[in-house]
Homo-oligomer: A and B are copies of this chain.
């Protein structure tokens, strides 16, 4: 936030300087007015694009970012969340077990708990619910 304010302030100062510079350079006849106007136009066009990109980027981030708070609210443990992510990527219990170096029965226990906590009947439904709650990406 401080960074934003600093950048904004620097930008305003730079623009005011530019105003003065362009004014005097035109009045003294050292620069053609078309060139000055063209430069200013280009500058503000670029500024508009950059600011717009930043704003949209921020919106996009907040809409795809995972809701960490919701995970806590649901009471999902760290390990359970890991398993949930692997389920969403399409792995079987056995594959998840191998990836996380535990037994398949452990994964089954985790999956059962995940289904209860997400109020889902199946793993496919759990994926859907997790997506809606913005708990997992996509």
Contacts and interface: CB of A to CB of B under 8 A. Distances in A.
Contacts of A34: 19, 23
A122 B124 CA distance: 10
A23 B38 CA distance: 12
Contact of A52 (B26, B33, B48, B92): B48
Contact of A49 (B19, B43, B48, B121): B48
Contacts of A8: none
Interface stretch (A74-82, A99-107, A125-133): A125-133
Interface string A110-134: 0000000000111111111101000
Contact of A45 (B19, B48, B89, B123): B48
Contact of A124 (B15, B43, B56, B90): B90
11 contacts: A19-B37, A23-B33, A26-B26, A42-B44, A45-B48, A48-B48, A49-B49, A49-B51, A52-B53, A90-B120, A90-B125
